[in-house]
Amino acid sequence: SSSDALARPEGAQMRKLFVRTAIPFVGFGFFDNVIMLTVGETLDCTLGVAFGFSTLAAAGMGQMVSDASGITLQGLIERFADRLGLPDPHLTLAQQRLDFVRYFMIVSRIVGIVFGCFLGMVPLIFMPDKKPRLVDQIAEKLAPEKRAEFQSLVSTEEYLRGDHLLNYGTQSSKVFMIQEGTVEVVGRDLDGLPFAVCTIGPGHSFGVPELNRPSHVDLVAKDVRVVAQVIEKADFLRITAEDEEGVEVFKKARNTEHQVYLRSQGQSIAGAGKTVRAEKGAGKTRMFAAMSMEDKLKVLSFVTADEKKTFTGAKGEGKVGYFAILSEDQKREALVKWQGWKAKQTEQTKEAS
């Protein structure tokens, strides 16, 4: 109509309306994303690790905090926007009621909040590239009641370039999980001279929880700063006794070149040929835990018990836990029979070749 045409705002008025409408929503979007990202990251690194929350769950909780904070900040942002002296488009009441103007204001708010959310992503610049720590990956595979205990027993150690995490010939009671920096693994050749076996870095594990023998290598910090997470072998074995998936994560994180070097040194953890003693603390459960799935099933088939449990070879069946509660004589008998079977298998393989 002619009245609508007369009421239609001019271009200058629309530009002023855009600025006045969009700017407050830039503030809303900025604070919404900043709070969500920082709170979500904090929750993911703390409660997420302790209780096994997923990253998405932590982000959702961060969004809840962000929304609650937005209600509190709304008045503050609006008052701040008023003090900025934003241009007044001087629209009449008739102009403000126009559908065109109302839709334009909605679009202005959307543009403002999207731009604000983009600016609110600035915390990502200061957040390190997130790669799940090996400790967290292992913890995720543990039962909820074991997860917090595992995290509490893991300690963090820092080393400077040239520091020794482990010395050749010494016996360590700990296993290492490298979190930051690189570590050089130095072995010995046939003449006893040192040589570089390999280099391990973030995400690698080092150590065999089932073994308590002098080390065949030196571990030397190669970078300016090296951070390693460590846990006592006894604690690791106790906590992961019934959680084979956690043990598998640790084993897969070992360096292949180092494993080959250990085998060349005759450092086997399979247990074949090892004297098995019935005394408690002789390492029978540790020997069993280090075996392959096939060998574990074979050992358990040799167990003589009134109520013998059947296992299929699936993960998480509790094979190590079951073996651990057997009597010392039952453990020894099963392992000795397995050793005999293993020796026969080896002999047959040699004859066939």
Q: Quick: pLDDT tens for 178-192.
A: 988 999 999 988 777
User: Which phi and psi angles does 301 have, rounded to 5°?
Assistant: -70, -20
Closest alpha carbon to 49 in 128, 155, 144, 156: 144
Distance CA 152, CA 229 (A): 11
Closest alpha carbon to 218 in 169, 263, 253, 257: 169
Model's pTM, two decimal places? 0.52
- 218 or 243, which is more confident? 218
> Is the predicted pLDDT of residue 277 greater than 80, yes or no?
no
Mean pLDDT of 157-166: 93
Is residue 57 classed exposed, middle or buried when 0-12, 13-18 and 19+ CB atoms within 10 A define those classes? middle
Q: How confident is the model at residue 269 (pLDDT cuts 50, 70, 90)?
A: very low
Least confident of 168-182, 219-233, 279-293: 279-293
Chain-centroid distance, C-alpha 291: 25
Average pLDDT, the chain: 82
- 251 or 82, which is more confident? 251
| Cβ-proximal residues to 113 (8 Å cutoff; 6+ apart), any chain | 25, 26, 28, 29, 32
> Is the predicted pLDDT of residue 272 greater than 60, yes or no?
no
Q: How far apart are the first and last CA of the chain?
A: 100
> Is the predicted pLDDT of residue 5 greater than 60, yes or no?
no
Q: Residue 107: left if φ>0, alpha if ψ -120 to 50, beta else—which one?
A: alpha
Whole-Å CA distances, 171 to 58, 122, 250, 271, 341: 41, 47, 20, 19, 31
Label the pairing between strands 218-221 and 194-200.
unpaired
Whole-Å CA distances, 316 to 142, 233, 262, 297: 10, 20, 28, 13
Lookup: tokens for 332: 């020894």
Please state, for a pLDDT cut of 70, what percent of the chain lies above it. 88
Q: How confident is the model at residue 325 (pLDDT cuts 50, 70, 90)?
A: confident
